[in-house]
Protein backbone atom coordinates (compact mmCIF):
# COMPACT_ATOMS: atom_id res chain seq x y z
CA UNK A 1 0.00 0.00 0.00
CA UNK A 2 1.19 3.50 -0.81
CA UNK A 3 1.94 5.77 2.12
CA UNK A 4 -0.66 8.28 1.06
CA UNK A 5 -3.32 5.56 0.84
CA UNK A 6 -2.72 4.85 4.49
CA UNK A 7 -3.87 8.38 5.28
CA UNK A 8 -7.13 7.95 3.35
CA UNK A 9 -7.78 4.60 5.03
CA UNK A 10 -7.05 6.03 8.46
CA UNK A 11 -9.43 8.86 7.72
CA UNK A 12 -12.33 6.50 6.92
CA UNK A 13 -11.72 4.65 10.17
CA UNK A 14 -11.51 7.88 12.14
CA UNK A 15 -14.75 9.31 10.67
CA UNK A 16 -16.63 6.09 11.43
CA UNK A 17 -15.34 6.08 15.00
CA UNK A 18 -16.41 9.69 15.59
CA UNK A 19 -19.99 8.91 14.53
CA UNK A 20 -19.98 5.78 16.65
CA UNK A 21 -19.07 7.65 19.84
CA UNK A 22 -20.94 10.87 19.03
CA UNK A 23 -23.62 10.53 16.31
CA UNK A 24 -24.07 14.35 15.95
CA UNK A 25 -20.33 15.12 15.79
CA UNK A 26 -20.16 16.17 12.13
CA UNK A 27 -23.67 17.63 12.03
CA UNK A 28 -22.77 19.95 14.90
CA UNK A 29 -19.50 21.13 13.41
CA UNK A 30 -20.86 21.49 9.90
CA UNK A 31 -23.14 24.30 11.04
CA UNK A 32 -20.51 26.56 12.53
CA UNK A 33 -17.14 26.78 14.22
CA UNK A 34 -16.76 28.81 17.39
CA UNK A 35 -13.24 28.16 18.64
CA UNK A 36 -12.10 30.06 21.73
CA UNK A 37 -8.43 29.80 20.82
CA UNK A 38 -6.11 30.89 18.03
CA UNK A 39 -2.91 28.83 17.97
CA UNK A 40 0.17 30.26 16.25
CA UNK A 41 2.66 27.41 16.21
CA UNK A 42 5.62 25.96 14.34
CA UNK A 43 5.02 23.82 11.23
CA UNK A 44 7.12 21.07 12.85
CA UNK A 45 5.29 17.72 12.49
CA UNK A 46 6.03 16.86 16.12
CA UNK A 47 3.97 19.73 17.57
CA UNK A 48 0.33 19.16 16.53
CA UNK A 49 -1.95 21.68 18.28
CA UNK A 50 -4.99 19.45 18.79
CA UNK A 51 -3.21 16.35 20.01
CA UNK A 52 -0.87 17.89 22.56
CA UNK A 53 -3.74 19.87 24.13
CA UNK A 54 -6.17 16.97 23.90
CA UNK A 55 -8.74 19.12 22.11
CA UNK A 56 -11.22 18.19 19.38
CA UNK A 57 -11.95 19.62 15.92
CA UNK A 58 -13.80 22.92 16.37
CA UNK A 59 -11.89 24.01 19.46
CA UNK A 60 -8.72 25.64 18.10
CA UNK A 61 -8.21 27.88 15.05
CA UNK A 62 -4.69 27.13 13.83
CA UNK A 63 -1.95 29.00 11.99
CA UNK A 64 1.45 27.39 11.65
CA UNK A 65 4.66 28.52 9.96
CA UNK A 66 8.38 27.90 10.33
CA UNK A 67 9.41 28.93 13.87
CA UNK A 68 5.99 30.38 14.82
CA UNK A 69 6.66 33.93 13.66
CA UNK A 70 4.32 36.93 13.76
CA UNK A 71 5.67 39.04 10.91
CA UNK A 72 4.25 42.50 10.36
CA UNK A 73 3.98 42.21 6.56
CA UNK A 74 2.75 38.61 6.43
CA UNK A 75 -0.68 38.89 4.81
CA UNK A 76 -1.37 35.23 5.60
CA UNK A 77 -0.82 35.63 9.36
CA UNK A 78 -2.60 38.99 9.44
CA UNK A 79 -5.64 37.55 7.64
CA UNK A 80 -5.83 34.66 10.11
CA UNK A 81 -5.42 37.11 12.99
CA UNK A 82 -8.07 39.52 11.79
CA UNK A 83 -10.60 36.77 11.01
CA UNK A 84 -10.12 34.99 14.31
CA UNK A 85 -10.27 38.18 16.38
CA UNK A 86 -13.01 40.09 14.56
CA UNK A 87 -15.25 37.32 13.21
CA UNK A 88 -14.65 34.23 15.36
CA UNK A 89 -14.03 36.43 18.39
CA UNK A 90 -11.45 34.16 19.99
CA UNK A 91 -10.76 34.77 23.66
CA UNK A 92 -7.14 33.59 23.65
CA UNK A 93 -4.23 33.70 21.22
CA UNK A 94 -1.36 31.37 21.99
CA UNK A 95 2.07 31.60 20.35
CA UNK A 96 3.73 28.22 20.77
CA UNK A 97 7.44 27.63 20.19
CA UNK A 98 9.31 24.43 20.88
CA UNK A 99 12.77 23.46 22.03
CA UNK A 100 14.79 21.76 19.29
CA UNK A 101 13.23 24.01 16.62
CA UNK A 102 15.02 23.62 13.28
CA UNK A 103 14.14 27.19 12.34
CA UNK A 104 15.83 28.60 15.45
CA UNK A 105 18.85 26.32 14.99
CA UNK A 106 19.26 27.34 11.35
CA UNK A 107 18.90 31.05 12.12
CA UNK A 108 21.66 30.80 14.73
CA UNK A 109 24.17 29.68 12.08
CA UNK A 110 25.52 31.36 8.94
CA UNK A 111 24.29 28.60 6.64
CA UNK A 112 22.34 29.70 3.58
CA UNK A 113 18.94 28.14 2.85
CA UNK A 114 17.71 30.15 -0.13
CA UNK A 115 14.40 31.91 0.31
CA UNK A 116 14.18 30.61 3.88
CA UNK A 117 17.00 33.06 4.71
CA UNK A 118 14.51 35.91 4.38
CA UNK A 119 12.08 34.27 6.80
CA UNK A 120 14.75 33.30 9.33
CA UNK A 121 16.11 36.86 9.27
CA UNK A 122 13.31 37.67 11.74
CA UNK A 123 14.90 35.28 14.25
CA UNK A 124 18.34 36.81 13.76
CA UNK A 125 16.73 40.16 14.66
CA UNK A 126 15.43 38.63 17.91
CA UNK A 127 18.97 37.43 18.63
CA UNK A 128 20.42 40.91 18.00
CA UNK A 129 18.00 42.39 20.58
CA UNK A 130 19.15 39.88 23.23
CA UNK A 131 22.68 39.15 22.03
CA UNK A 132 24.50 39.75 25.33
CA UNK A 133 22.21 37.40 27.27
CA UNK A 134 22.32 34.63 24.66
CA UNK A 135 26.08 34.87 24.10
CA UNK A 136 26.68 34.44 27.84
CA UNK A 137 25.15 30.94 27.80
CA UNK A 138 27.77 28.16 27.69
CA UNK A 139 26.43 25.66 25.13
CA UNK A 140 24.77 25.80 21.72
CA UNK A 141 21.78 23.88 23.13
CA UNK A 142 21.29 26.40 25.93
CA UNK A 143 21.63 29.29 23.50
CA UNK A 144 19.03 27.76 21.16
CA UNK A 145 16.67 26.95 24.04
CA UNK A 146 16.84 30.52 25.31
CA UNK A 147 16.35 31.79 21.75
CA UNK A 148 13.20 29.65 21.50
CA UNK A 149 11.82 31.41 24.60
CA UNK A 150 12.92 34.89 23.52
CA UNK A 151 11.45 34.32 20.07
CA UNK A 152 8.06 33.39 21.53
CA UNK A 153 8.25 36.48 23.72
CA UNK A 154 8.97 38.76 20.76
CA UNK A 155 6.21 37.22 18.65
CA UNK A 156 3.64 37.83 21.41
CA UNK A 157 4.91 41.43 21.54
CA UNK A 158 4.47 41.61 17.76
CA UNK A 159 0.80 40.66 18.21
CA UNK A 160 0.34 43.47 20.75
CA UNK A 161 1.81 45.93 18.24
CA UNK A 162 -0.97 45.30 15.70
CA UNK A 163 -4.02 47.53 15.31
CA UNK A 164 -6.13 44.35 15.24
CA UNK A 165 -5.20 43.45 18.83
CA UNK A 166 -5.14 47.01 20.15
CA UNK A 167 -8.61 47.67 18.77
CA UNK A 168 -10.07 44.43 20.23
CA UNK A 169 -8.41 45.15 23.58
CA UNK A 170 -9.97 48.60 23.69
CA UNK A 171 -13.46 47.65 22.50
CA UNK A 172 -13.95 44.18 23.96
CA UNK A 173 -11.20 43.56 26.53
CA UNK A 174 -10.02 40.48 24.67
CA UNK A 175 -8.11 38.44 23.53
CA UNK A 176 -5.69 37.31 26.20
CA UNK A 177 -2.24 36.70 24.66
CA UNK A 178 -0.07 33.78 25.75
CA UNK A 179 3.49 32.66 24.98
CA UNK A 180 4.21 28.98 25.53
CA UNK A 181 7.08 26.62 24.80
CA UNK A 182 6.71 22.90 24.11
CA UNK A 183 9.28 20.29 25.05
CA UNK A 184 9.82 17.50 22.51
CA UNK A 185 11.56 15.60 25.30
CA UNK A 186 8.60 15.21 27.67
CA UNK A 187 5.57 16.57 25.78
CA UNK A 188 4.96 19.36 28.30
CA UNK A 189 3.84 22.88 27.44
CA UNK A 190 5.20 25.63 29.65
CA UNK A 191 4.04 29.23 29.87
CA UNK A 192 6.73 31.88 29.56
CA UNK A 193 4.60 34.97 29.00
CA UNK A 194 0.98 35.89 29.83
CA UNK A 195 -0.34 39.18 28.48
CA UNK A 196 -3.87 40.13 29.59
CA UNK A 197 -5.92 42.58 27.50
CA UNK A 198 -4.73 46.19 27.73
CA UNK A 199 -1.25 45.31 28.93
CA UNK A 200 0.80 48.48 28.30
CA UNK A 201 3.09 48.27 25.28
CA UNK A 202 5.98 50.59 24.50
CA UNK A 203 4.15 53.88 23.70
CA UNK A 204 5.74 54.18 20.25
CA UNK A 205 3.72 51.15 19.12
CA UNK A 206 0.40 52.44 20.43
CA UNK A 207 -2.14 53.62 17.88
CA UNK A 208 -4.85 56.21 18.55
CA UNK A 209 -7.68 53.77 18.04
CO1 LIG B 1 10.10 24.48 14.89
Residue 31's pLDDT is: 85
Q: Ligand 1 centroid vs 206 CA: distance in angstroms?
A: 30
Structural domains in the chain, CATH included, are 1-31 (no CATH), 33-205 (3.40.1050.10)
Pairing of strands 176-182, 37-42: unpaired
Q: Exactly one of 44, 63, 174, 178 is catalytic; which is it?
A: 44
Q: What is the pTM of this model?
A: 0.96
Dist. CA 81 → ligand 1 center (Å): 20
**pLDDT score recorded for residue 1:** 67
178 classed as catalytic = no
Stretch (H or E) spanning 115: none
pLDDT at 20: 96
- Mark the ranges of the chain whose per-residue pLDDT is less than 50: none
Q: How far is the CA of 116 from the centre of ligand 1 (A)?
A: 13
Residue 21's alpha-carbon distances to 8, 16, 51, 58, in angstroms, are: 20, 9, 18, 17
* Annotation marks residue 121 as catalytic: no
- Residue 142 CA to ligand 1 center (angstroms) comes to 16
| pLDDT score at 32 | 83
CA distance 2 to 11: 15
Amino acid sequence: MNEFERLLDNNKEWAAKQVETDPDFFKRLEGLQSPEFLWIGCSDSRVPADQITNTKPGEIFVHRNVANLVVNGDINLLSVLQYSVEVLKVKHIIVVGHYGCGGIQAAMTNQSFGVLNNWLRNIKDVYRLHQAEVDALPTVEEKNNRMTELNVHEQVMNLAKTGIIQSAWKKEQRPFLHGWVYSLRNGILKSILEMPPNTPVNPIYKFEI
